[in-house]
Structure 1
């Protein structure tokens, strides 16, 4: 089909004349486009290889590649349009207006992108870390531009928008090689406090995975109603934290019982006196109640003295 069949003769003549005058420019633009696309692929491969040699984590490498790829394509297309004689100023103006409209329509998504950039650049956590973010605890599997993937201890996959993560405090439990385990222990008021401290320290020193530095400590934290509360503080490798803490709690229970120390629990003892306030035996009052059957209750007129006390056995 001839171009002149689609356009009127005047327009077709102008278009053909323009193409004949710009033939070299169009050829140059096509060459720039082909070479530019080839160079873009080579540059992206070189960027990825250089980041890998620099030991940049895969998440950050992927993000930089995703940013560099469209940026290079835009440069190549603008260069080709300029070589073809197309005024790029108007093209850029149209792209800017379109970008503004898209930005207003996708402001929430852009917020996630900005948060993803912050997470990837600042790196408060990385893949493999165990964190608490936006109220969710789990192991980080992936950090992407829009969302972060977590795996909870019960094997649930949780996908969090990045804007939710950066809007709340982030706790990284595996950021440091060691963590402190605090174990609360209560002993009775009648127990030997020094002996209890020695038993707890011996438990800590006997455990093979408890670190020697910083040294384990036992602190007296509270004089409670039913017990004297102690706290065993030990430092353990982060990777072993849950297992070591569980083993220490079990050892505390066993060793305290072996040494005759009691782990108290609230208990109420009632002390009932056998005489009323006037010194008369309560047995006589009870007998009078049984004999009278009806009438005034002598127990109401002379209530017994009853004492109650909370103590720990």
Structure 2
């Protein structure tokens, strides 16, 4: 659990006062001037030696005051993602989704970006569905929206939306956007699974193509009559004095009696 700020400051003040009193008892010749002079010289050395510790301590206090995230929030920081397990003065403990603990220094969390996935009650997700170029995108949108209406975990307000996002190599990619509540990681993964499981049979039943990556390889003299004729073809090799005849021309010549 997070430490309250006021007890922490009171504890440090009491500790510092106790150290000063103990020094005056052990060393009666120690005066206030010599003590503060020694503290000034040694304070610089200590400051350099414990720079990272003090930086993490100050960052921890600022995190406890500003509260950009709380215990139980799911955050992303750099390569780490998980649930905030504890916010200590020096570091924050993160419980990852694969059941590991990550100790992140507070200075890293305070000076770098942090994504708080559970800061709000709702979260928008998106999955991509590719349809064929010969399919009606408006029909596909209607089918997708009707299918999403039957998935219980998806919120009706804000309403789902389907957008054409890309004319890809072999498909027209539609981005399916929807909102869930609560926005925790488990619900994110499970809702994406349920949405895709529902969309696949619905689109196939409506005759919407879900194309796979395909490639078609043609020889240069199989596409047009001019292909293979390096003097007349529109693209390909540069022209030269002696050009091999196209396959179509050779075939036509062989069939001529």
The reply to whether TM is greater than 0.5 is: yes
TM-score by length of 1: 0.63
Pairing partner for 2:147 from 203, 207, 210: 203
Contact 2:84–2:94 (CA under 8 A) maintained in structure 1:
yes
- Does the Cα contact within 8 Å between 2:3 and 2:88 map onto a contact in 1? no
Superposed CA RMSD: 3.1
Judge conservation of contact 2:3–2:89 (CA < 8 Å) in 1: no
When Rg is computed on C-alpha atoms for both structures, the one with the higher figure is 1
Q: Is the 8 A contact 1:139 1:152 kept in 2?
A: yes
- Could you state the TM-score of these two structures normalised by the residue count of structure 2? 0.76
Q: Does 1:126 align with 2:70?
A: yes
Higher helix share: 1
Map of 2:100 onto structure 1:
156
Distance 1:71 1:224, change over 3 A: same
SS of structure 1 residue aligned to 2:104: strand
Instruction: Find the counterpart in structure 2 of residue 291 from structure 1.
Output: none
SS at the partner of 2:177? strand
State how many pairs are aligned: 226
Alpha-carbon distance in structure 1 between the residues aligned to 2:125 and 2:2:
32
The 3 A distance-change label for structure 1 pair 79 and 193 is same
Q: Is the 8 A contact 1:221 1:230 kept in 2?
A: yes
| Equivalent residue, structure 1, for 2:176 | 232
SS at match of 1:267: coil
Q: Aligned to 1:151, what secondary structure does the other structure show?
A: strand
Unpaired segments ≥5 residues, structure 2: 227-242, 249-257
Q: Is the 8 A contact 1:78 1:88 kept in 2?
A: no
Matched, 1:249 2:196: yes
2: CA distance, partners of 1:177 / 1:201 = 23
State the distance in 2 between where 1:113 and 1:187 align. Answer: 54
Query: What is the CA-CA distance between 1:131 and the residue it aligns to?
Result: 0.8
| Residue 212 of structure 2 corresponds to residue 268 of structure 1 | no
Choose the corresponding residue for 1:100, options 15, 31, 44: 44
CA contact (8 A) 1:115 1:166 kept: yes
Consecutive unaligned residues in structure 1, runs of 5 or more: 1-57, 279-299, 306-313
